[in-house]
Amino acid sequence: MANEKSFEELFKRLEEIVQEMESEELDLEKSLTLFEEGVKLSANLRGQLSKADQKISELMEKLEKN
């Protein structure tokens, strides 16, 4: 997908969320909103890492066959 953000962009946003939650007094609603966004980002990042791991495994299998 062309609109899909890179791993680095997603990770940077997740870091920003963590810093915001650690450094500020947030009301419950804002905390929950940030937490929800962080959970979604984390799931997306795990998915991207899983795809990369699968690709590496496939490449290593091809390499071992040659």
Assess whether pLDDT exceeds 50 at residue 1: no
What is the value of pTM for the model shown? 0.81
Asked, for residue 16, whether it belongs to a domain, the answer is: no
Helices 28-65 and 7-23, packing angle to 10 deg: 150
pLDDT digits (tens, 9 = 90+) for 4-40: 899 999 999 999 999 999 987 899 999 999 999 999 9
**What sign does the CA torsion over 41, 44, 48, 49 have?**
positive
Residue ranges making up the domain that contains 48:
28-66
Q: What domain count does the chain have?
A: 1
Q: Which residue has the higher pLDDT, 3 or 41?
A: 41
Asked, for residue 42, whether it belongs to a domain, the answer is: yes
DSSP assignment string, 38-52: HHHHHHHHHHHHHHH
Asked, for residue 10, whether it belongs to a domain, the answer is: no
Assess whether pLDDT exceeds 70 at residue 2: no
